[in-house]
Amino acid sequence: MVLALVLIALGLGLFAWKVSSFGFPVKPEETSEVWVVQAHVAVDPGAGSLKVSMQLPTRTPGYGLSDEHFISRGFGLAVDDKPWQRTATWAIRRAGSERSLYYRGVYFHDENRQEIAPRPQFPNPPLLREPFQTALLEIVDEVRQESADIASFTTSVLVRLNDPAPEDNLALFVEGPLKLDKAHIAQLLLSGARIPVLTIQGVRLTDDSNNAPIQTFIAAHDGEQWLYFDPETGDSGLPGDFLVWWTGDDPFVSAEGGRLVNSEISVKRQAVSSLSLATERAELHGSRIVEFSLMSLPINIQSVYEVLLLVPLGAFIIVLLRNVVGVRSFGTFMPVLIALAFRETELLAGFLLFVTIVGVGLTFRFYLEKLRLLLVPRLAAVLIIVVLLMAVVSVISHQLGVEAGLSVALFPMVIIAMVIERMSIVWEEHGPANAMLDGVGSLAIAIIAYLVMGIDLFAWWVVVFPELLLVVLGLTIALGRYTGYRLTELFRFREAVS
């Protein structure tokens, strides 16, 4: 029982890990939400060459990149893939009339914790002219007295900045000639306290929008990680729908040799297959789970395993019905093979074909008994008869226009020959009633196995989560230790028990 419990726990653990960590879908019809983000730049070129640079999303905490495309007819494109900042540069010798450039990226939710920038050095305090220098030092001293760490220091600064009536020192920065927004005032004050700080720009992925505004957040480093704050509200942390686009104060788009007419970012929500998104999420996290899974095999091989991996499920059904229920059958795994044949022929047609071939074959088997053949020649003769019967049924069905009869070739002929042989022996030794009972039991198990193996959810699980077969193995081992009464025996001995 310990081995069975270990196998069950291992299978369920791997299943839960793949679902929770990478989002592998439990159901085949599950879809996930992705965002298509498009940046459009319109440029009016001059008489000479034109060069346009645009910031690209690089480090996106909470989101992963699925795919991206650049659309720029006639332009040369160079993407500078720096570790902490990506930039796309389009160039053309003669542009002519106004030109449009596009960047399109597909992003999905991902619980990654990417750092937006490397661990920084402590900055030198800024040197300002008076009276701004004195005001800066006094604000830093006051805030330092009211805070305990970098997070509380930053929050206190933002609370002061958002006060409708700021104190005199802060009013110099808010209402004075520097004309700085709240994000850059906060950046200035934090730098005065020698706190590493930078601005981050991004868009909110909330609703479909043709012109999503670029929002600015600030990030302060506490020595271990970046802490994010909204300078307009003072709230800490990045919103769950915020896509970090770039860091620093560089412009979103710049043009050399032309005039920037317009730049806008559009966002649109789409639904995609959860399975394809889970594979991309696994690749983003550097996991090789997809590379070493059945999904990496060629399509034709995957189709084969979609059937083979259902055989253990059918075998478990046989164990359950024989050891717990007490259903009798011919052979051990013959019903599973018949159930697989039913998957191709459909249940009703397969049932009629199986009964017909076994019935006619049994008639010939009784005739062979009169010839007193040895075992191996007799089995060979029965096999030949079964093959001939299958061929005759296929030809007659084709002539009658019954296409279902053509699928009789999918039945395992050797197994059918063995069923005929076993059924004839039981018929002779224990009577026709027992032979019919074993035959009906075999068909009943095959039908139940067919119905269970035909559940689309199970077929999906064994391919996407083959580790669940460890659960089936554990349950099979557990049932193998069961030595109690079977359900049919309870009915058989109910009078003795009462």
Segment 319-328 shows an average pLDDT of 86
Q: Judge whether 423 lies within some domain.
A: yes
Q: Judge whether 411 lies within some domain.
A: yes
Tens of pLDDT along 344-363?
A: 777 888 888 888 888 888 88
pTM above 0.75, yes or no: no
Q: How far apart are CA 135 and CA 140, in angstroms?
A: 9
Q: Judge whether 396 lies within some domain.
A: yes
For the chain, how many structural domains are there in total? 1
Q: Judge whether 471 lies within some domain.
A: yes
- Of the chain, the end-to-end C-alpha distance in Å amounts to 33
Q: List CB contacts of 229: < 8 A, sequence separation 6 or more.
A: 154, 155, 158, 186, 217, 218, 219, 220, 235, 236, 237
Q: Judge whether 54 lies within some domain.
A: no
Helix (H, G, I), strand (E, B) or coil at 52: strand
H helical segments located in 271-333: 274-284, 299-308, 311-319
Q: Judge whether 38 lies within some domain.
A: no
Q: Judge whether 183 lies within some domain.
A: no
Q: How far apart are CA 299 and CA 58, in angstroms?
A: 34
Tens of pLDDT along 64-108?
A: 888 899 998 888 999 988 878 899 999 988 877 888 999 999 998
Q: Which domain holds residue 380?
A: 302-497
Tokens representing residue 155 in the block = 């929050």
Q: List CB contacts of 39: < 8 A, sequence separation 6 or more.
A: 54, 102, 103, 104, 263, 264, 265, 266
Quote the pLDDT of residue 406: 65
Q: H or E stretch including 348?
A: helix 347-370
Quote the pLDDT of residue 229: 92
Query: Are the beta carbons of 228 and 238 closer than 8 angstroms?
Result: yes
Q: Judge whether 85 lies within some domain.
A: no
